Amino acid sequence: MPVLKLETALGISSHAFAIARELRTAPLTVAVLDAGGHLISLQREDGASMLRPQIAIGKAWGAIALGKGSRQIAADAQQRPAFIGAANNLAGGNLVPAPGGVLIRDQTGELIGAIGISGDASDIDEQCAVSALEAMRLQADPGV
């Protein structure tokens, strides 16, 4: 099973921040988790508000836990609120059903982790995540 290493996680975060600066986003927080949902890297830009780390982790963790990007989890929350509510309850409130949590796949399509970004509008968070993964030659799976 392929492993997402710290060096790769830090590269993903670095690219996400570079893209965010090009887009002139609000200060972001980037969480990168491995395929088991374990935090590998968490970086918060100066000025990012204090709850952003938990939100970024929740977006990525939910993607890993449910096997789909947090955009799809957000759609599920609208279509099946009882299910997502129950799943979030089982998860101890750790799911964040908003775009910005993207599954990370290697070049063969194998799941190796997830990225969660929080700080700007959710669509912008997701755009930074997808672009960062593509810059690292990884497959972004936002669940669209």
What is the separation of C-alpha 76 from the centre of its chain, rounded to a whole number of angstroms? 17
pLDDT at position 37 is: 96
Whole-angstrom Cα distance, residue 9 to residue 43?
10
Domain that holds residue 79: 6-139
Whole-angstrom Cα distance, residue 63 to residue 72?
9
Tens-of-pLDDT digits for all 144 residues of the chain?
679 999 999 999 999 999 999 999 999 999 999 999 999 999 999 999 999 999 999 999 999 999 999 999 999 999 999 999 999 999 999 999 999 999 999 999 999 999 999 999 999 999 999 999 999 999 999 976
CATH (domain of 48)? 3.30.450.150
21: enclosing H helix or E strand: helix 6-23
What is the separation of C-alpha 120 from the centre of its chain, rounded to a whole number of angstroms? 13
pLDDT at position 1 is: 63
Whole-angstrom Cα distance, residue 26 to residue 121?
9
In a domain, 72, yes or no: yes
In a domain, 1, yes or no: no
pLDDT at position 143 is: 79
In a domain, 68, yes or no: yes
Domain count, the chain: 1
In a domain, 15, yes or no: yes
pTM reported for the whole predicted model: 0.95
Q: Phi-psi region for residue 106, left (φ > 0), alpha (ψ -120 to 50) or beta? A: beta
Q: Are strands 39-44 and 139-141 parallel, antiparallel or unpaired?
A: unpaired
In a domain, 144, yes or no: no
In a domain, 28, yes or no: yes
In a domain, 91, yes or no: yes
